[in-house]
Structure 1
Amino acid sequence: MKTIRLSPLLTGIILAGCSSYTFAQLGANLSVDLRALSMGNAVTADPPGVNAIHFNPAGLTKIQGLQTEQQIIVANFDIQREFSVPAGYNVFGYSDDPMVCHDGPEVSSDICTDFKGKVSGDVEYVSLFVPYLKKMVDLGEGLPLVAPTMGAAYNPPGSKATYATAIYAPLMAGFGQEDGSPANFMGQQVALERITYLSPSVGYEVNDQLSIGASVGMSYQAIAMKTDLRFPNELIGMLRMIDEVVCTPFKENSDIITDILLLGICNADEGMNPFGKFGQMQLSLEQNLSPSYNLGILWEPREDFSFGMVYQSAAKMRLKGKFHIDNAKAPQEMIKGLMTSPTGQILAAILGFPNYIPSSESGLVSMDFEYPAHFQAGITYKVMPDLQVNFDVGWTDYKVWDKFKFEFDRTLSALKIAKILSGNVTDSSLALPMGFKSPWNFGIGVEYSATDRLKLRAGYEPRTSAIPKDKRNTMVPINGAQLFGLGVGYRFDADTDLDLSIGFLRSKDQIPANTSSLANQTGVNNLLLNPYAGLNIKTDTKITILGLNYRTRW
């Protein structure tokens, strides 16, 4: 079993893929505030100190004088992915996929005689996109990282307004594997980051029962990915059959007649293979300033009851960056072969194929991206003087992630070929159909005051997946999940509090063969992001977060 440890300031929760990316509940709110984590994030009516900036800025009015907070969080991720062969597995009659087949070159059969059984592609380390270096950085397998987040709030004497700011990460994702991992075809390295580096906020006490608040978040947003490419597609399987069966008699003695009849395909030095690597793609996009805002209301009509509500706005961005594609020899040879035949040239012109495929292509890339809006409301009720229960419901507009469309600054040869099989591809753009949903979720938390100084907390938050079953994939191993939290709060004196919290999230998913168009669908039109066509997939994600929060009033 392999595990990785993530920094809370630099890393929040996995995963993604650019399709990935990105997503389900994406680990939202796992590294913003430790007290909230221990209460199942059910804190809208009971906002946690300075981090009320995020959960409900109206709660800032609970702060008196000057208050600072520092958090230290250590996160441990155990992310496992498993691939297996179902009965009848094949792509256009071929099943000798080296990823799942033990057969070596000495076995001439196109049908695998010795399947590997279960193949693992576990996450091995954290990958992050570093803004100033503008590149992905691996943090090392098993390397424990500890990093702080911080915030400050000030309520002037006699004022009804409280001002605050904090540094936190609403969303972070990063993972990677070494060369040769079966998981590399859906992201050898993936990173999705949103870091709020400045959040001027104000909470205003309207009266003894009602407070309102607002905050403006100035954030950095980045998406980056490095992935191997392969296309186990029926059409490519047919091209392999043509190369191995039809072309074999003409490999050494072709002439103008055979070139015309066979379109020049047989002149390729290397034939197409649905299980072969077609190349590698790297891209990174970012925006240094992405503003958003939070609006909150806190109503406390009685000492034993309060109601809170918060709206976190969407953030629309135009991300820009660079890309680099390395093309494998087989597709280059296919086009080269077509160009040796008059009929091949005519066919290529009709289909809009390029005249040649270079070994590599680089340039600029951009995309419209929207960080989704979120709404949450909740209550706090004291069942007994020493026991309070929090309950929240929330909704996130993940439906805006219907497609991720990448626009390149030039025509790409690979896209000119792929567009004949997908309406989501043009000569210079690629749209990944995500089809996300906007789910409702709830959380519940309990806090027991054992003494005047000691508080015990527990929370539970079941998380409904935002990803439809026909879009599940290995780049997003957090789908339907359960989050459990425990915490202890201790007051050293009237001005100093210490919170110790632990959270555990578990998400397991099964993607049976041919059920996801973003992972393992078979057929002719499965060209985009189906590198595991025809295979069964399982994911098992366990995340443990341990942290300490130190709060001081001056």
Structure 2
Amino acid sequence: MKWLIALLFITTLFPTPAFSAITENISMGNAKAEGMAYTVTADPPGVDSIFYNPAGLARIKKRTAQINLVYALPDFAVDIGAHSQALSNCLEGISCPSNVSDQVLYDEAVNSESSTSTLVVMLPHFGGTKLDVTLVPLGGVAVPLFEGVTFGSDVYSTITAGYERDNDDPGRFFAQRLALTRIAYFSPTIGIQLNDSWSVGFGISLSYFGIAVQMPMRLPNGATGIAGLLQDQLGCFDKSNTNLPVDLCGGAFGPYTELIDIDVEAEKSMSLTYQFGLLWDITPWLTWGMTYHSGVTDHLKGSADITYSDDWQGFFQGLTGAGASSLLANIIPSGTHQQESSDVVLDMNIPHYFATGFSLQLTPSVKVNLDAKMSSWGDTEALVINFEDPNTELLTLLGTLDSILALDTATSDSISLPLYFEDTWSWSIGMEYGYSDTLTLRMGYEDRRSSIPHDRQTLLVPLSDINVYAMGFSYRVDALSEIDFAISYYAPKKERVAAGESANSNSGALNDIIYNPYAETEFTTKTSAFKMVLSYSFVF
């Protein structure tokens, strides 16, 4: 029901069915663009020119509507491998005390696989919402105002990524549920034909931007490792502990203990960007195109719910008991809260996007398109969560750790998940063959580069470089309507990250305690996706 209401919310903002992408970096669901692996900067597709190149609107001479059906099936997959040799030696009792309890050293994630195809999106009023159905109706409209000038508006998503992992999925410690959605719900755009050779287009986009993250957290690190070993030596797990002035046995506090569960949702209802495009018909058989989308830094507001495990509560209640609470007050958590909440503000950066390309009509039947595209992800250094209420047990602990270890990733009122993305350049090629007056065949390839550098690979969004293979066709029903269909497969270039190599997932450094839940454990990213798009455009 939430899914249907959410679609109604989107479609009421525009008089035709709405459009939204489903997977990250797949900005639109147009079947022509899909069939040519998005190589359409110099050959923009009808109403969806609003995104691909606003100048393309000038080519629309009659009132046109477009309806799309999009089906997507992603597989967010990671192979989690073995521990580093140094950690293995410790866990096997070679370099660390032997016969240590499994409650300290058992790692459920080692040598396992994390995989999910469950889609989650962030929606206004509903937050992170699972999509039980991935077949979504979408669309847009364009209307010529007068000779050489066409107006259009569309609903599209420049960023949509989300998933939900099972309760026992080993990848859940970086996120059991993630939803990142940016939907342009109103994008008034004008395309103007300046002369026989040049067209220009300009538009603005008002977007909804939301993020939801829910993760059970563990802290495999030297600090928690020492705490766990100390508990074991004191007999906390075999009940042989003696009466100590400070009780360290109230709850397990080892490197693989699940300590807290944090659930964050934040959003901004109106974010403004603009887009600009040019088309130059150099000759009757050669066209050059360019498009630019502005970037923006948004401040998303929402709330965070923090749930503390029984081990967390028991450990800190014991540690602050027996008269020690006054000495340790405001230094370590009290362990007396099962759940706490705080308003939060997240700073999110949307990159600038630039694309340029050529469309070459080789013969009356054969067309070849070439594109190059750039996104300025290099401006995105971290996902920073600022807590309006710093008086929570989690932030008390992080503030103490920050004062001791000088953390770059946590303070007494914030958590920072380092990203350090890179600017990306990608290229693509698309081919179109006019088989007959009514049937056109398409195929395309894109070499899509990940914005995540090797030493920052993460299980939060396990994306490596991807090869996009696409094919499709167009069938002209009559003089006023056309049907397009396309399928594409996103084949990952698997990326193996050695133990301790990524500061965003598996670093074992003491000051990288936030956040490396797979410290000193290798992993390989292999996310893939399959997508189908059916488009129907008609003059009205």
Q: What pairs up with 1:401-550 in 2 under 5 angstroms?
A: 401-411=380-390, 412-419=392-399, 420=401, 421=405, 422-507=407-492, 508-550=494-536
Question: Which of residues 5, 25, 28 is equivalent to 2:26?
Answer: 28
Cα distance in structure 1, aligned partners of 2:428 and 2:474: 20
Cα distance in structure 2, aligned partners of 1:505 and 1:250: 53
Cα distance in structure 2, aligned partners of 1:73 and 1:270: 49
What SS does the aligned partner of 1:93 have?
Answer: helix
Residue 36 of structure 2 corresponds to residue 48 of structure 1: no
Q: What pairs up with 1:175-186 in 2 under 5 angstroms?
A: 175-186=163-174
Seen in structure 2, the aligned counterparts of structure 1 residues 50 and 83 have a Cα distance that, compared at 3 Å, is same
Residue 304 of structure 2 corresponds to residue 323 of structure 1: yes
What SS does the aligned partner of 1:85 have?
Answer: strand
Seen in structure 2, the aligned counterparts of structure 1 residues 117 and 433 have a Cα distance that, compared at 3 Å, is closer
Q: What pairs up with 1:142-221 in 2 under 5 angstroms?
A: 144-156=133-145, 159-221=147-209
Deviation of the 1:27 alpha carbon:
2.7
| 1:532 aligned partner, one-letter code | Y
Q: What pairs up with 1:286-325 in 2 under 5 angstroms?
A: 286-325=267-306
Identity %: 26
Cα distance in structure 1, aligned partners of 2:296 and 2:84: 46
Which runs of 5 or more structure 1 residues have no equivalent in the other structure?
1-6, 15-25, 97-105
Deviation of the 1:344 alpha carbon:
7.8
With 291-300 and 519-528 compared, the bigger mean Cα shift is at 519-528
Deviation of the 1:118 alpha carbon:
3.4
Match of 1:19 in 2: none
C-alpha RMSD of the superposition: 2.8
Cα distance in structure 2, aligned partners of 1:228 and 1:107: 24
Match of 2:73 in 1: 76
Seen in structure 2, the aligned counterparts of structure 1 residues 146 and 124 have a Cα distance that, compared at 3 Å, is closer
Cα distance in structure 1, aligned partners of 2:374 and 2:241: 65
Cα distance in structure 1, aligned partners of 2:242 and 2:160: 58
Seen in structure 2, the aligned counterparts of structure 1 residues 448 and 153 have a Cα distance that, compared at 3 Å, is same
Deviation of the 1:138 alpha carbon:
2.6
Cα distance in structure 1, aligned partners of 2:508 and 2:421: 21
* Equivalent pair of 2:29/2:533 in contact (CA under 8 Å): no
What SS does the aligned partner of 2:317 have?
Answer: helix
* Equivalent pair of 1:169/1:196 in contact (CA under 8 Å): yes
Q: What pairs up with 1:54-453 in 2 under 5 angstroms?
A: 54-86=51-83, 88=85, 90=87, 93-94=90-91, 118-133=111-126, 135-140=127-132, 144-156=133-145, 159-246=147-234, 253-254=242-243, 259=245, 264=246, 266-340=247-321, 346=327, 348=328, 352-356=331-335, 358-411=337-390, 412-419=392-399, 420=401, 421=405, 422-453=407-438
What SS does the aligned partner of 2:192 have?
Answer: strand
Deviation of the 1:499 alpha carbon:
0.8
| 1:340 aligned partner, one-letter code | G
Deviation of the 1:230 alpha carbon:
0.5
What SS does the aligned partner of 1:65 have?
Answer: coil
Seen in structure 2, the aligned counterparts of structure 1 residues 530 and 91 have a Cα distance that, compared at 3 Å, is farther
Deviation of the 1:370 alpha carbon:
2.1
Deviation of the 1:121 alpha carbon:
1.9
* Equivalent pair of 1:91/1:237 in contact (CA under 8 Å): no
* Equivalent pair of 1:513/1:521 in contact (CA under 8 Å): yes
Cα distance in structure 2, aligned partners of 1:117 and 1:303: 60
Seen in structure 2, the aligned counterparts of structure 1 residues 242 and 414 have a Cα distance that, compared at 3 Å, is same
Cα distance in structure 1, aligned partners of 2:336 and 2:376: 40
1:245-277 CA-partner distances (Å, limit 9, x unpaired):
1466996543xxx53xxxx2x444223111110
Aligned length: 512
What SS does the aligned partner of 2:532 have?
Answer: strand
Cα distance in structure 2, aligned partners of 1:512 and 1:9: 43
Cα distance in structure 1, aligned partners of 2:206 and 2:453: 31
1:350-388 CA-partner distances (Å, limit 9, x unpaired):
x94345552211121112222111011111111222211
With 123-132 and 66-75 compared, the bigger mean Cα shift is at 123-132
Deviation of the 1:343 alpha carbon:
7.2
* Equivalent pair of 2:360/2:369 in contact (CA under 8 Å): yes
Which runs of 5 or more structure 2 residues have no equivalent in the other structure?
1-6, 8-16, 94-98
What SS does the aligned partner of 1:163 have?
Answer: strand
| 1:12 aligned partner, one-letter code | A
Q: Report the TM-score, using the length of structure 1 for normalisation.
A: 0.86
Cα distance in structure 2, aligned partners of 1:480 and 1:514: 21
Deviation of the 1:89 alpha carbon:
5.9
* Equivalent pair of 2:452/2:463 in contact (CA under 8 Å): no
| 2:26 aligned partner, one-letter code | A
| 2:260 aligned partner, one-letter code | G
Deviation of the 1:530 alpha carbon:
1.1
Cα distance in structure 2, aligned partners of 1:117 and 1:224: 27
